[in-house]
Structure 1
């Protein structure tokens, strides 16, 4: 059994089409757990209607808690999950019919090699479309400047995992713990856990249409464009974000330091200590030696500049 976790907030425009695309999957051994985070539009009546129509497939989680962010909403859903595997769904995308089947097949192959007790994360690929599901000509390669860098050190400073393309096994999601404001995104947190204590794997198959519209909380951006690179280099937030990465890393050490392999533990310890060095040149040396760097030269230079 697979639990599909669907987090909603004011998503009436696309939520029906998304639910229909999940219900139409070729692999049917799943249920959808939906949690709304205080919508003020017609989202709640829509999901309640679907839950009434498909009681064996759809469960609405009502815990009375206010999330306030997509990450927190998903953490509440993770706490309600019970199945052997979990997938994550945004409210405005469109799943191709074999999304679950393709991802689950890869997950099974990895578990056969590594065992069910190993935390495993597998994530696939999307194609970007507009609000009417028309191809925008934008693909996932535009959203990642370099090849996926899924080693722990790179993931400490940049997330390469898209939650709505992801499946994790029970050995992983039961270790996520409670939400903390220092956790930047649920998918990033799980990527760190999988890369340090288990297995993380990218599936090249396109399994989902990723809608681009004005309401996306986190949307696909052409990070290869010169304009984007210059803007990111000049953005003052680039400096403050590095402190957020460190805060997340410190929390990760607190929760998982005792179970991490020695190599990853030492890497995390070194990364956390970076601001203990008085001189910038030493901090730059630590980043370069440990390869705690963004995925392209422009953003890596910006990272070194602001360290």
Structure 2
């Protein structure tokens, strides 16, 4: 794969698949950002609807701002699609962009400001060599962007995470569409482990376990749209430990994460279970 050097400070990575229904609104929100120091990189995973037509319309409307990355393989899934984009481009900073959300106008501006603040405290060098991930809160909305919850993070025990960063082992406190990470975090996360199933979780865990810093900003910068199976995923994040493990999907995720932590970061299953029990009650 030929690696491209980003000509702007931020690479926004968009993995698409049959997302025509909400994609135009998402792209409009992206190109109304108060900070425009970014290029958008798009990889499509084999869409059969009008997704690529919409991408091309915006590519012509904003010349030089959108790079379409040809996929060498189709139907690899969202996580692998995002990680292939991450492999493709070298940049100072990266942001994952979902095809069905809506970015608030100051999302990039506020996120990069928080990133620079964290980097300044984590590293004295001009170019920070410490892996850093920053994430913001999300506002949960329905298909028409009517607000369902003002804060997605409200029930995720972010204050507990700040005191006990190892909570990241058992609680998904970083959401892909709300995160930004620096080049050092990108390098720490490549290549993606065959045991990893979620791109955002993988980047956050690599940052945490490889000497980096994960920081959460308590301000919603994106409307997290709920529809179809996406609604089930959001509701699952709000459930407590016993409810999640009681479901078949919950048990599958539980053991998959335990295996990932053991294989890649040396966290034994007893310690993983201890973290699960402790941080489910704190």
Instruction: Tell me the TM-score normalised to structure 2 length.
Output: 0.85
CA distance in 1: counterparts of 2:174 and 2:244, whole angstroms: 20
Aligned counterpart for 1:210 among listed residues 210, 215, 224: 224
1:200 paired to 2:214: yes
Partner residue in 2 for 1:166: 179
Q: How many residues align?
A: 268
1-structure distance, mates of 2:18, 2:11: 22
* Contact 1:128–1:209, Cα closer than 8 Å, also in 2: yes
Q: What displacement does 1:95 show? A: 0.4
Partner SS, residue 71 of structure 2: coil
Structure 1 residue aligned with 2:247, among 214, 235, 239? 235
CA contact (8 A) 1:142 1:223 kept: no
1:40–1:146 Cα change, 3 Å: same
CA RMSD of aligned residues (A): 2.5
For residues 72-123 of structure 1, the C-alpha deviation after alignment (integer angstroms, 9 at most, x for no partner) is: 1110110122210001110000000000000000111122222200000000
Q: TM-score, normalised by structure 1?
A: 0.79
Equivalent residue for 1:78, pick from 86, 90, 95? 86
Q: Is the 8 A contact 1:10 1:39 kept in 2?
A: yes
Does 2:202 align with 1:189? yes
Equivalence for 1:178:
191
Deviation, 1:219, is: 3.5
Equivalent position of 1:305 in the other structure:
none
2:6 match: none
Structure 1 counterpart of 2:34, from 26, 39, 42: 26
Q: 1:118 aligns with which of 113, 121, 130?
A: 130
Bigger mean CA offset, 92-101 vs 233-242: 233-242
| Cα distance change, pair 58–127 in 1 and its aligned pair in 2 (3 A) | same
Contact 2:143–2:225 at 8 Å: present in 1 too?
Answer: yes
**Corresponding residue for 1:248?**
260
The residue correspondences of 1:1-307 to structure 2 (distance < 5 A) are 1-115=9-123, 116-137=128-149, 139-141=151-153, 143-144=155-156, 147=159, 149=161, 151=164, 153-196=166-209, 197-216=211-230, 219-221=233-235, 231-253=243-265, 269=266, 271-272=267-268, 274=269, 283=270, 287-288=273-274, 291-293=275-277, 295-297=279-281
Distance in 2 of aligned mates of 1:15 and 1:214 = 16
How much has 1:152 moved relative to structure 2?
5.0
Q: Which runs of 5+ in 2 are unaligned?
A: 1-8
Pair member with larger Rg: 1
Does the residue aligned with 1:220 lie in a helix, a strand or coil? Answer: helix
Structure 1 residues 80 and 209: alpha-carbon distance in aligned structure 2, compared to 1, 3 A threshold: same
